[in-house]
Amino acid sequence: MNRDTTRINLPPPQAPRSRRPKVPRTVWVAIALFSLLAGAGGGWYFGSSHRDAPEVSEEERGQAQDLAITTKLAEARIAVAGGEWFEAKRIFEEVRDIDPKNPDALASLPLIEKRLEEARGTVIVSTSPEGATVKLGSMKEQTSPATFTGVPFGEYELVASLEGFETVSQAVTVDSEIPQSLFGIDLAKSSGEIEVVSEPQGADYKLIKTREKKPEELIKVGVTPEKIDKLDPGEYQVLMAIEGWPANSQFVRVENNRSTSVSAVFAKGGLNLTSDPSGAEVWIQTGEAKPRKAGMTPVNLSGLPAGKHGIELRYSDWEPIRRTVDVSGGLTQDLQFSWERSLVSFTSDPSGAEVFLGDKKLGKGQQTTPFQIELPEGDYQFSARHPRLGSIEKGHYVDPNAGSNGVDFHFDYGSVTLESQPVGAAVVSGGMPLGRTPLTLSVVPPGDYTFELSKEQHRSSSVSGTVEPGGSLDFSVTLTYDPAPTTNRSFKNGVGMEMAWIAPLGGWAGVHEVTQEAYQKLAGTNPSYFKAPNHPVDSVTWYEAVKFCEALSAQEKSLGTLPEGYRYRLPTDEEWSELVGEQKLDGAISSLFDRKKSPAPVGSLAANEYGLYDVRGNVWEWVSDWYSQTIMNRIQKGGSTATPEWVGTDRKVLRGGAWNRSSQFDLSIENRMAARPSAEDRYDVGFRVVLMRD
């Protein structure tokens, strides 16, 4: 066995069976030993014959030779017994060299040669990484880990190869039937390199691994020049670009232990641009890049990449001039652009229209008809937009050779005249206030219209009609005097109660809680415990409060001061939540800060933002709602504590707290008190009226 061969010997596995019949090893050992014994006997015999010779020197020489042969034969027996056939062959050949006729050597060597011809070994190969193709001599190749069996004794070349790795080759000697294991064959990763260069330097590049020119993986991004090493062999795409130049793309193949160069030249050229008139914006587009503004004419554009470029000149509202220019490397071209133009007049009936070309307003963005501007020759589609009459379109060809170019827009419209007795009535149409009579609307779009005329202390009136294109409507209205209050304004009713207009509710609310004086004037009695004319009425039942509202509505109607469609009543719970506004406790008559002994005169403290007094404190105020689940949900939503056992009972809701309440809970806006509507012994309960639509 060649001991110079590198391998790791593991305990041998069971020897594989030969593919052809072989003489058992024990038979070979027996034959070889028999030959040795026979040779030893013959040697003894011949040696005995020589000892009878009279020559002493020959005898001594023979004895030495016999001793050497005997020693080697003993070594040969050990080699044969151990299966070291190559070693046994060598020893027998040495014996034959000493004694060419030695019967042991002559008998054993043919047998050993035959044994060596039949002997087979096993080679086990493992590589890192696995999956390499392994070849052993002329035997069929395998994939690692590989086991080659039935390998004839001899010298072989072992070759391991794997794509992307360097091939490993080494000599292997098979001289034993004990399996030979070759582990730790490391395959070094193969690589190549690419050098990326550009003119000028500083181009951005991308290196992409591809397969059949389809991208698989982005390998690296950088700036030229750069050398990229340790690349797997295979196909790559190199993209290079400089801002303003079209991208350069090349496909290359990287080979193991080889350097590949990729280069790109970004050639430059220039353009000198002038225009008539000058001051035009110059926009340039290179390749698929977005157009960019390059300056104002006259302008010199240098350092442009060689190739085709889109040039666009923009001036004022004119149609742009577009050209495609081929820029050559190292050359500067002179280009001149001009517009054939004419003065165009824009007019409209009625005047005051804005004129647009596409989405762009003409006339420096501020003018309305009539006006004049200069436009280049060409077909145009203009649109005119009047603030009241909408939009119309008109096409026109601007001819520089014509004596004049005019575009006139005619809108369809009519007029309306409104007069009233007395004069000064406010005119509203479609919710839009138009002015006061006498009023002339000289520009009215065609269509059906209704005009509402109103004047304070007069009943409103409305007129309707259809405006035809070019037509006119004339209205004259006599307004009837009406003492009823006007919406949006506060007033004082027939019993002297001040009523404040509450815009979010579209109605009025009493500025004060109903006083004892007002209650007695209408009801003829005063149920209050704490009697004082300017104090809020107290100890009044819910039924009495409702009856008071009904009597007040009847009286105001009889006086002609009840607005049509309105009536006095108690506020709802939701309306009261609006009426309270932003009223704070420091503006409320209560016992929170110092104990009170009775209610206070109405309006003793400041009003809230609606002008209402005492919406918190002084006396509880009846509202129209029963204490229900809805009320309880509102209380809980507002963060206060409800009383579930009151739900479903005959209790009406009270809001706002009273003079004798000293806890934050009782005085909270979100709190609701409840009492039976017939309760008459509540000297801390009163009410406030509202005037709302039915």
Phi and psi dihedrals of 561, rounded to 5?
A: -105, 10
Instruction: Kindly state the average pLDDT of the residues 447-457.
Output: 88
Q: Is 121 exposed, middle or buried (0-12, 13-18, 19+ CB in 10 A)?
A: buried
The residue ranking higher by pLDDT, 6 or 16, is 16
Residues across the chain: 694
- Between the alpha carbon of residue 397 and those of residues 337, 375, 603, 632, the distances in Å are 21, 10, 76, 75
- Kindly report, residue by residue over 369-428, the tens digit of the pLDDT: 998 888 888 888 999 999 889 999 999 988 888 767 889 999 999 999 999 999 999 999
- Assess whether pLDDT exceeds 60 at residue 38: no
Q: Is 86 exposed, middle or buried (0-12, 13-18, 19+ CB in 10 A)?
A: middle
Q: How confident is residue 44, by pLDDT bands cut at 50, 70 and 90?
A: very low
Q: What is the DSSP string of 589-634?
A: BSSSSS--SS---TT-S---TTS---SSBSSEEEEEEE--HHHHHH
Amino acid 340: pLDDT: 77
Amino acid 482: pLDDT: 66
- Kindly report, residue by residue over 50-75, the tens digit of the pLDDT: 444 455 478 888 788 888 888 988 88
Q: How confident is residue 244, by pLDDT bands cut at 50, 70 and 90?
A: low
Q: Which residues pair with 405 in a beta bridge?
A: 344
Phi and psi dihedrals of 527, rounded to 5?
A: -85, 5
Amino acid 652: pLDDT: 96
Instruction: Kindly state the average pLDDT of the residues 677-687.
Output: 93
Instruction: Kindly state the average pLDDT of the residues 588-592.
Output: 91
Three-class SS state of 663: coil
The residue ranking higher by pLDDT, 621 or 308, is 621
Cα 403–409–412 angle (5° rounding)?
Answer: 155
Q: Which residues pair with 174 in a beta bridge?
A: 154
For the packed helices 25-51 and 103-118, what is the interaxial angle rounded to 10 degrees?
A: 170
**Residue pair 508/502 in contact by the 8 Å Cβ criterion:** yes
Q: How many CA atoms lie within 13 A of 355 on its CB side?
A: 28
Tell whether the torsion through CA atoms of 113, 117, 119 and 120 is positive or negative. positive
**Residue pair 689/550 in contact by the 8 Å Cβ criterion:** no
Greatest mean pLDDT among 132-141, 159-168, 338-347, 600-609 lies in 600-609
- Separation between Cα atoms, residue 348 and residue 406, nearest integer Å: 11
Domains detected in the chain: 25-118 (no CATH), 121-186 (2.60.40.10), 192-265 (2.60.40.10), 268-338 (2.60.40.10), 341-410 (2.60.40.1120), 414-478 (2.60.40.10), 491-693 (3.90.1580.10)
Rg (CA), the chain: 60
Instruction: Kindly state the average pLDDT of the residues 136-158.
Output: 89
Amino acid 42: pLDDT: 43
**Residue pair 76/108 in contact by the 8 Å Cβ criterion:** yes
Q: How confident is residue 2, by pLDDT bands cut at 50, 70 and 90?
A: very low
Instruction: Kindly state the average pLDDT of the residues 334-363.
Output: 87
Amino acid 292: pLDDT: 87
The residue ranking higher by pLDDT, 10 or 387, is 387
- Two tokens, residue 478: 């006599």
For the packed helices 85-98 and 56-81, what is the interaxial angle rounded to 10 degrees?
A: 170
- Assess whether pLDDT exceeds 90 at residue 268: no
Query: Which secondary-structure segment (H or E) carries 302?
Result: strand 299-305
Amino acid 439: pLDDT: 94
Amino acid letter for position 647: V
- Assess whether pLDDT exceeds 90 at residue 359: no
Phi and psi dihedrals of 337, rounded to 5?
A: -125, 145
Amino acid 327: pLDDT: 81
**Residue pair 608/673 in contact by the 8 Å Cβ criterion:** no
- Separation between Cα atoms, residue 615 and residue 621, nearest integer Å: 8
Q: Strand order of the sheet with strand 461-467? A: 432-436, 426-429, 447-454, 461-467
- Kindly report, residue by residue over 310-333, the tens digit of the pLDDT: 899 898 767 788 888 888 776 888
- Separation between Cα atoms, residue 685 and residue 530, nearest integer Å: 11
The residue ranking higher by pLDDT, 561 or 25, is 561
Determine the distance from the C-alpha atom of residue 360 to the mean position of all C-alpha atoms in its chain, rounded to a whole number: 33
Residue whose entry in the numeric block shows the structure tokens 């809230």: 608
The residue ranking higher by pLDDT, 555 or 178, is 555
Residue whose entry in the numeric block shows the structure tokens 């004060």: 512
Question: Beta strands 133-136 and 142-143: pairing type?
Answer: antiparallel
Across 503-552, the runs of DSSP E, i.e. the strands, are 507-510
- Assess whether pLDDT exceeds 50 at residue 668: yes
Nearest residue to 556 via CA among 538, 542, 569, 572: 569
Percent of the chain residues topping a pLDDT of 70: 90
- Between the alpha carbon of residue 565 and those of residues 63, 164, 481, 553, the distances in Å are 158, 96, 17, 11
Amino acid 362: pLDDT: 85
The residue ranking higher by pLDDT, 353 or 86, is 353
Instruction: Kindly state the average pLDDT of the residues 150-168.
Output: 85
Amino acid 350: pLDDT: 92
- Kindly report, residue by residue over 541-584, the tens digit of the pLDDT: 999 999 999 999 999 998 888 888 899 999 999 999 999 999 99
**Mean pLDDT computed over every residue of the chain:** 85
For the packed helices 56-81 and 25-51, what is the interaxial angle rounded to 10 degrees?
A: 170
- Kindly report, residue by residue over 76-129, the tens digit of the pLDDT: 888 888 778 788 888 888 888 888 888 888 888 898 888 787 788 898 999 988
Say which residues have a Cβ less than 8 Å from residue 639's Cβ, sequence separation at least 6.
670
* Whether the bond into 350 is cis, omega within 30 of 0: yes
- Separation between Cα atoms, residue 401 and residue 188, nearest integer Å: 83
Residue whose entry in the numeric block shows the structure tokens 């589609």: 381
Amino acid 317: pLDDT: 67
- Separation between Cα atoms, residue 601 and residue 624, nearest integer Å: 25
**Residue pair 213/198 in contact by the 8 Å Cβ criterion:** no
Amino acid 106: pLDDT: 85
**Residue pair 199/330 in contact by the 8 Å Cβ criterion:** no
Count of C-beta atoms within a 10 Å radius of residue 71:
12
- Two tokens, residue 194: 């690419």
Three-class SS state of 13: coil
Across 555-628, the runs of DSSP E, i.e. the strands, are 566-569, 620-626
Q: What is the DSSP string of 188-230?
A: PBP-EEEEEEEESS--EEEEEEEETTEEEEEEEEEESSEEEEE
Q: Give the residue ranges of DSSP H helices in 18-55.
A: 25-51
Instruction: Kindly state the average pLDDT of the residues 212-221.
Output: 89
